[in-house]
Amino acid sequence: MADIIKLLPDHVANQIAAGEVVQRPASVVKELMENAIDAGASTIKLIIKDGGKTLIQVVDDGMGMSETDARLSFERHATSKITSAQDLFNLHTKGFRGEALASIAAIAHVDMQTRKEDSEVGVQLKIEGSKIVSQEVVATPKGTSISVKNLFFNIPARRNFLKSHQVELRHITDEFHRVALVHPNIEFHFYNNGSELFNLPKTKHRQRIAHIFGNRMEDRLVPVNEETEVVKISGFVCKPEFAKKSRGEQFFFANDRFIKSPYLHHAVTAAFEGLIKSDMYPGYFLYLEVDPSSIDINIHPTKTEVKFDDENTLYAILRSTVKHSLGQFNVAPVLDFDHDPNLDTPYAYKEKDVILPKVTVDASFNPFKETSESKGMGKSFQKTSVKGWEDMYEGLDKDIDVEEFSSVVIESESAVQGTLYTDEEVEERLAATFQLRRKYVMSTVRSGLLVIHQNRAHERILFEKFLGEITVKEGVSQQLLFPLELTFNKQELAVLNEIKESLTNIGFAFESLKHETVKVTGVPLVVPESGIGTVLDHLIADYMEGFNDGTLSQAEVLAKVLSKNLAIRTGEVLDQESQLALVNNLFACKEPSLSPFQKITYTIVSEGDIDKKFS
């Protein structure tokens, strides 16, 4: 029988490895930027086109490579970081596997130019699908420039799984943030389709955070510092009042490497217990320094998942450190939240008796009696003020046809669908609706008892309303008496510019969108003026978080986000008119049974089911 096990060719093995290392353009950005940092670069430039699908270029001024090193760098498991297995437990660099460049070159067109400082000329390598097409001597600045073009050109199936340019750009921006935040001593430049998104000079951690997330972030940060035998913790947490409903500004770094750790995240969340709501997420930028031998970063190809030797101790130290910082800077509460100091009795009046006010009434006062003071001008005023009072009742002596008012019709909000009720029917329906536990709206139907989830039902109503306004461009705007100025970082401004037209169709009006400042002059009728900033913050965060996964149109995404943030919440009290409007508007929708997030909005308990309870 013939042997069936064969060794894979190198180009096939590299493509398989690329599937683990290169998941999307952002993975290439991460690997190339980390290589530039390991090369000792002081300035790094990132150039992107079409969300990284057409071009990803990283230029650094690091040490560069010789001709031989340049060739070897594209071989599998070729690395300058480790020489033995023991080195894996004492890592101080970003990359060490020797798989990144080989994997990238297997699925893209790569152009590398590099020169060492002591060399007069550099070398240029062109590789297509792991094959070296050309190698030339070129004049190039000190350092390395790597251009990755046409990602997944030889794997069409992988390329088809990529999302839109905007979605891929957001993933790239996230990776850029993770690298830039931990290296404030390096200057970074980020260009997208010819325009500069970020220009980050060398600075300190706090200023680097402000440069990335906007100047408003600097006032929100609370410093965190603690040094123990197990770990050294530094960084910042955001004040509790700036917690958000979506995950966003949450960064853990271990030994200058971004990591993901739900366990440590829970430690930070536990420190905020009692300061924020259970459905809110605090922001934090925390840097951990541990013994390299006590952390295993070799358990995942992307090196973002790590394993600590003593996670329980680390959890306790991190939780207490964050809690101590919040208390040290007077962020944690020491007084009752509901206490109003304006109601305190002043010290000077604490020992005084309460004196009841005395009211005197002139029993002999007659407003119709003419006195000496009311003579003259006052007398003439009285005469003119009552002149012609009989005219007010003119025409009332005519016969009135009472039958004209016997069939008064009240039009509900669903009049568009032709649902009209007489006054008797309205009273009957109002009496038949009631609210249960501030969560459900109950009503009677022919088949039994109707139970409506008020939050989900209102989400469906608002979703179809906003979707229609965006499509038809008939949103009603409420102009603000005083324009509201809001500040956003560059990434948030980019999202606002992307969805500006759709927001305008809904009813938002913007006067300017530049220089991290947004001036809002109008909002939709359903948006309260006091909540404009919160709504826009949640809108941007949800839009960036993953609502826009490429399967929905922009109009659908915005309608979903706005309906989620503006819908009636569980716990809100509804009067009977609002309950009736909710019922009518829900069943006037095209898809009343499901919310925009595919959850059931109502159910009907049949009369038979009720009878069974008493059988």
Q: How far apart, in whole angstroms, are the C-alpha atoms of residue 458 and residue 564? A: 9
Q: How far apart, in whole angstroms, are the C-alpha atoms of residue 385 and residue 579? A: 47
What's the rounded mean pLDDT across residues 290-318?
79
Tokens representing 370? 């003419």
What is the pLDDT, as a whole number, of residue 431?
A: 52
Q: How far apart, in whole angstroms, are the C-alpha atoms of residue 296 and residue 310? A: 12
Residue closest to 536 by CA, chosen among 492, 501, 570, 494: 492
What is the pLDDT, as a whole number, of residue 393?
A: 59
Q: How far is CA 187 from the centre of its chain?
A: 27
Query: What is the secondary structure of 20-82 as a DSSP string?
Result: HH-SSHHHHHHHHHHHHHHTT-SEEEEEEEGGGTSEEEEEE-S----HHHHHHTTSTT--SS-
Residue closest to 519 by CA, chosen among 536, 505, 543, 495: 536
31 in Cβ contact with 87 (< 8 Å)? no
Q: Which residues of 428-438 are buried (b: 16+ CB within 10 A; e: fewer)?
A: ebeebbebeee
486 in Cβ contact with 517 (< 8 Å)? yes
For CATH 3.30.1370.100, list the domain ranges present in the chain: 420-605
pLDDT at 528 over 50: yes
What's the rounded mean pLDDT across residues 143-169?
88
What's the rounded mean pLDDT across residues 253-268?
91
The percentage of residues in the chain with a pLDDT greater than 90, rounded to a whole number, is 35
Q: Return the higher-pLDDT residue of 372 and 269.
A: 269
What's the rounded mean pLDDT across residues 98-120?
89
What's the rounded mean pLDDT across residues 380-397?
54
Mention the CATH class of domain 205-328.
alpha beta
- pLDDT per position as a tens digit, 582-608: 999 999 999 999 999 999 999 999 988
What is the pLDDT, as a whole number, of residue 341?
A: 60
284 in Cβ contact with 243 (< 8 Å)? no
When mean pLDDT is compared across 230-234, 344-348, 573-577, the lowest value belongs to 344-348
For the ranges 6-10, 136-140, 255-259, the maximum mean pLDDT occurs at 136-140
- pLDDT per position as a tens digit, 29-65: 999 999 899 889 999 999 999 999 999 999 999 999 9
What's the rounded mean pLDDT across residues 402-412?
47
Any alpha helices (H) in 422-553, and if so which ranges? 423-432, 454-472, 490-506, 532-542
pLDDT at 422 over 60: no
Tokens representing 592? 């009343």
Across 228-321, the runs of DSSP E, i.e. the strands, are 232-238, 250-254, 258-259, 284-289, 295-296, 307-308
Which residue, chain included where needed, has tokens 């980019």? 494
In eight-state DSSP terms, residue 593 is T
Distance linking the first and last C-alpha atoms of the chain: 73
Q: Return the higher-pLDDT residue of 307 and 325.
A: 325
* Rounded to 5°, angle at Cα 358 from 356 and 359: 140
pLDDT at 410 over 70: no
Residue 606, beta-bridge partner list: 448
- Helix, strand or coil for residue 600? strand
Q: What CATH number belongs to 10-200?
A: 3.30.565.10
120 in Cβ contact with 44 (< 8 Å)? no
Q: How far apart, in whole angstroms, are the C-alpha atoms of residue 1 and residue 440? A: 71
Q: Count of CB atoms within 10 A of residue 224's CB?
A: 24
How many angstroms separate the most distant Cα atoms in the chain? 134
What's the rounded mean pLDDT across residues 368-372?
65
Angle between helices 165-182 and 205-213 (to 10 degrees): 160
What is the pLDDT, as a whole number, of residue 531?
A: 79
For CATH 3.30.565.10, list the domain ranges present in the chain: 10-200
pLDDT at 355 over 50: yes
163 in Cβ contact with 550 (< 8 Å)? yes
pLDDT at 316 over 50: yes
Q: What CATH number belongs to 420-605?
A: 3.30.1370.100
| CA distances (Å), origin 313, targets 258, 260, 339 | 20, 18, 37
441 in Cβ contact with 575 (< 8 Å)? no
Q: Count of CB atoms within 10 A of residue 518's CB?
A: 22
pLDDT at 503 over 80: yes
When mean pLDDT is compared across 80-89, 516-525, 559-568, the lowest value belongs to 80-89
DSSP H or E stretch at residue 445: strand 440-445
Q: How far apart, in whole angstroms, are the C-alpha atoms of residue 251 and residue 237? A: 10
When mean pLDDT is compared across 87-91, 216-220, 531-535, the lowest value belongs to 87-91
Mean residue pLDDT across the chain: 81
Contacts of 430 (CB under 8 A, 6+ apart): 576, 577, 580
| CA distances (Å), origin 60, targets 145, 146, 246 | 6, 9, 34
What is the pLDDT, as a whole number, of residue 401?
A: 53
Positive or negative: CA dihedral 585, 587, 590, 595: positive
Q: How far is CA 32 from the centre of its chain?
A: 27
What's the rounded mean pLDDT across residues 438-450?
89
Q: Count of CB atoms within 10 A of residue 169's CB?
A: 23
For residue 350, what pLDDT band results from cuts at 50, 70 and 90?
low
Q: Which residues of 82-105 are buried (b: 16+ CB within 10 A; e: fewer)?
A: eeeeeebeebebbbbbbbbbbbbb
What is the pLDDT, as a whole number, of residue 300?
A: 58
Q: Environment class of residue 185 by beta-carbon count within 10 Å: exposed (0-12), middle (13-18) or buried (19+)?
A: exposed
Q: How far apart, in whole angstroms, are the C-alpha atoms of residue 102 and residue 80? A: 14
What is the pLDDT, as a whole number, of residue 72?
A: 87
pLDDT at 90 over 60: no
Q: How far apart, in whole angstroms, are the C-alpha atoms of residue 561 and residue 596? A: 9
- Please count the residues of the chain: 615
What is the pLDDT, as a whole number, of residue 125?
A: 94
Which residue, chain included where needed, has tokens 């947490």? 237
